[in-house]
Amino acid sequence: MFDHNVMDGSDSTQNTMNGVFGYCAGTIQYNYFNLMVSGILASVDNVNNNIIQNAVTSADGDHCNGIFTFGPNSGKTLYVYNNITRGMQCSGGVNFWLVGNSGGCVGCTSFAYNNIIDASAVSGNVFNIGGHPSDGNTGTYTVENNTIIANNGGTCMGNGESSPRSTTNFANNHCINGSIICDGTGTTCNNLGGNLLQTMSTANKQGYSASELEEYSPVAGCTSSTCSTVGAGVDLASSCSASMTGLCNSITYPSYDSTTHTISVMAASARSAAWDIGAYQFASGSSPNPPTGLSATVQ
């Protein structure tokens, strides 16, 4: 368990450190990573409620990474949810990668939901699925309820190296500034419905923006006719198993207080019969819920 830590490279050279590296954790949760070469670069079973931002090129020229999971640490199941990756500062880096260096993972199942993946800052891979062709088959992926911001019309998710070596089932993903939602070159894309592709201009006009308190969320006063994510998703309640109860809620949206050096999360909103598209479930007329009190303190 790697839990409730703050790792901030702002007072360093910033280009010699990784957050979590290797095969050291079964669960990585409630952490803050800022100004490092990589936030999470590891084999791990569960990654949730982390903030990874401002990754930079290393001192010896290696590209940066936000969340780069090699594969499951134990067994054949991986869960990645309620995370925020943003502000990458190296060209060609990896914002978010599921099972990217496993040496093959036949029979593996990976789930990614309620994540905010903002790759708008610089060019780079937005949301990679599966390893290189030499890794062979890397199993099945379920990608649901994510808010993804691509760079200059790039692909929102997928694997661009032929031929298809996995299956990606995707639903209720809000992709902004992208050209296509799923690239089927290296994975078989199975669209389960409720996915939305918007230009940045259209999203901004509807109120979705990086400057919001909760970035790219529906704004106060949204209705299904004014905000395209509201009530437009498919109902995935039947998929909310004991190990995926969070799928039936909105993102808990981790946030960091740079004065107290603590990380907190918002209380989640339950998804109703009218599911929204993306990481958020809009509650008409309500204000954000208070933090739950979960915190990480620098000693």
Euclidean distance between CA atoms 132 and 180, whole angstroms: 21
CA contacts within 13 A on the Cβ side of 174:
31
Look at phi and psi of residue 223 and say left if phi exceeds 0, alpha if psi is from -120 to 50, else beta.
beta
Confidence of residue 209 (pLDDT cuts 50, 70, 90): very high
Give the global pTM: 0.93
What are 46-71's pLDDT values in tens digits? 999 999 999 999 888 888 999 999 99
Residue 154 is given by DSSP the state: E
Euclidean distance between CA atoms 292 and 269, whole angstroms: 13
Confidence of residue 240 (pLDDT cuts 50, 70, 90): very high
Tokens of 8: 């901030």
Euclidean distance between CA atoms 186 and 296, whole angstroms: 39
Euclidean distance between CA atoms 180 and 274, whole angstroms: 25
Quick check: 263 and 255 in contact, CB under 8 A?
A: yes
Residue 107 is given by DSSP the state: T
Look at phi and psi of residue 87 and say left if phi exceeds 0, alpha if psi is from -120 to 50, else beta.
left
* CB atoms near residue 257 (< 10 Å): 13
Quick check: 123 and 151 in contact, CB under 8 A?
A: yes
Confidence of residue 288 (pLDDT cuts 50, 70, 90): very low
Q: Give the percent of the chain with pLDDT over 70.
A: 94
**Is residue 269 pLDDT above 70, yes or no?**
yes
* Cα–Cα distance list, 174 to 83, 115, 148, 210, 245 (Å): 15, 11, 6, 14, 20
Place of tokens 């093959």: 104
Residue 290 pLDDT = 45
Closest by CA position to 166, among listed 145, 197, 190 = 190
Residue 10 is given by DSSP the state: T
Average pLDDT, rounded, for the chain: 90
Residue 284 pLDDT = 56
Euclidean distance between CA atoms 9 and 57, whole angstroms: 13
